[in-house]
Structures are given as structure tokens and as C-alpha cells.
């Protein structure tokens, strides 16, 4: 059963890589975060339209591996329309789960990424968009930069 679930999750990750959701630069963007993974060269630019404490629009662009692309796609689907504080809490939970520090349930849409933990060298790929989100939301409308090497 666990192998069937892993295969299902792997299929979801591959589908989000082939057909990423919200692969667009949000314009106008109130917040921006750029993430870079120097180990593999992945680069993701996350753009958001945040108003009244809610994420009204979120998108991403960049050059990245399948896991980083799928993670960014799933991030945008999960966080669209949510309050910023909730998005920050989900990002923190996601990071803790990916780093093996927490086993709390992730929002259902993010469960397919849990399998990445089987491949420690790929966790930074899954975390890249989330680090970009944290950088974007850390400033008050200022561009944020993130690297997987400083986590």
C-alpha cells in the first residue's frame, strides 16, 4: 500500500512538472521573492499580489528541476486566496516536515511532496519555492532573495 501511495504521489509531482499551475508573473506584484539553489542551478521567481492581508494572486517563473517546479506549482495552488499569516504557517510546517523535524499533516494538496524526504539531496529542491515565499513575505513589499544554502 505504501508503495502504491508513493507512486500516486510521484505521478502528481510529475504532472505538476509537466503542466505547472500558475506559471506566470503576477502583474502588478506587491511582493517578490527570488530563490536560487547553487548546487543544481535551480532558480525560481515568485510574485504575489497581497492586499488586505490575503494572497489575491500568486505565480512563479524560472528554470528548475521537476521537484522544484512541482513544489512551486503546488505552493501556488495551496496558498492562492489564503491569509498571509496562514501562508506563513503552512510554509513553516512544510519546512519542518521536509527537514524531518515534524510529522504534522500537511494540507492535502502538499502531501505528494512528502515523498521527497526519501531523497535527502532533493529536499532543497522542494524547499526552494517555499524559501522564496518566506523571503517575499519577510519584507513589506520589498523584493526578497533566498538561497537554499543559508537554511
Q: What is the CATH number of the domain that holds 19?
A: 3.90.1010.10
Identify the domain containing residue 99 by its residue range.
1-143
Instruction: Specify the DSSP element, H or E, that contains 35.
Output: strand 31-37
Would you put residue 62 in left (φ > 0), alpha (ψ -120 to 50) or beta?
Answer: left
Residue 44 covered by a domain? yes
Distance separating alpha carbons of residues 101 and 103, to the nearest angstrom? 7
Residue 151 covered by a domain? no
Residue 150 covered by a domain? no
Q: pLDDT truncated to tens, each residue of the chain (151 aa)? A: 456 545 655 888 889 899 999 999 999 999 999 999 988 899 999 999 999 999 999 999 999 999 999 999 999 999 999 999 999 999 999 999 998 887 777 888 898 998 888 889 899 999 999 999 999 999 765 566 666 554 4
Residue 113 covered by a domain? yes
How many domains are contained in the chain? 1
Q: What is residue 83's predicted lDDT score, i.e. its pLDDT?
A: 98
Residue 119 covered by a domain? yes
Q: Which residues contact 92 (CB under 8 A, 6 or more apart)?
A: none
**84 neighbors 141 (Cβ within 8 angstroms):** no
Instruction: Specify the DSSP element, H or E, that contains 90.
Output: helix 84-98
Q: What is residue 1's predicted lDDT score, i.e. its pLDDT?
A: 42
Q: What is residue 100's predicted lDDT score, i.e. its pLDDT?
A: 87
Residue 148 covered by a domain? no
Instruction: Go through the chain and tell me how many residues it has.
Output: 151
Residue 13 covered by a domain? yes
Amino acid at each position: 500500500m505504501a508503495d502504491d501511495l508513493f507512486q500516486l504521489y510521484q505521478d502528481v509531482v510529475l504532472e505538476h512538472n509537466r503542466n505547472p499551475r500558475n506559471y506566470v508573473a503576477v502583474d502588478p506584484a506587491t511582493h517578490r521573492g527570488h530563490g536560487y539553489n547553487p548546487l543544481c542551478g535551480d532558480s525560481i521567481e515568485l510574485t504575489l499580489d497581497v492586499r488586505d492581508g490575503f494572497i489575491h494572486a500568486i505565480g512563479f517563473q524560472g528554470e528548475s528541476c521537476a521537484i522544484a517546479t512541482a513544489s512551486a506549482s503546488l505552493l501556488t495552488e495551496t496558498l492562492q486566496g489564503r491569509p498571509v499569516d496562514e501562508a506563513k504557517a503552512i510554509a513553516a510546517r512544510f519546512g519542518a516536515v521536509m527537514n524531518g523535524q515534524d510529522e504534522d499533516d500537511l494540507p492535502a494538496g502538499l502531501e505528494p511532496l512528502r515523498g521527497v524526504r526519501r531523497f535527502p539531496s532533493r529536499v532543497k529542491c522542494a524547499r526552494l519555492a517555499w524559501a522564496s515565499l518566506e523571503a517575499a513575505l519577510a519584507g513589506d513589499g520589498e523584493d526578497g532573495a533566498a538561497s537554499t544554502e543559508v537554511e
